[in-house]
Amino acid sequence: MTLQSRIAEKLDQAFAPERLDVIDESHLHAGHQPDMTGTGETHMRVRIVSESFAGMSRVARHRAINDLLKPELDAGLHALAVEPSAPGEPTRW
Residue range 66-73: average pLDDT? 97
Domain ranges of the chain: 3-85
CA angle (72, 90, 27) in 5-degree steps: 40
Residue pair 20/7 in contact by the 8 Å Cβ criterion = no
Query: Would strands 19-24 and 43-49 be described as parallel, antiparallel, or unpaired?
Result: antiparallel
Hey, which residues does 89 pair with through a beta bridge? Answer: none
What is the value of pTM for the model shown?
Answer: 0.85
- Using 50, 70 and 90 to split pLDDT, how confident is the model at 38? very low
Helix (H, G, I), strand (E, B) or coil at 36: coil
Q: Which residue has the higher pLDDT, 71 or 37?
A: 71
Residue 72 has pLDDT above 80, yes or no: yes
- At residue 35, the pLDDT reads 60
Task: Please state which of the four CATH numbers 3.40.47.10, 3.30.300.90, 3.30.70.520, 3.40.50.720 is assigned to the domain occupying 3-85.
Answer: 3.30.300.90
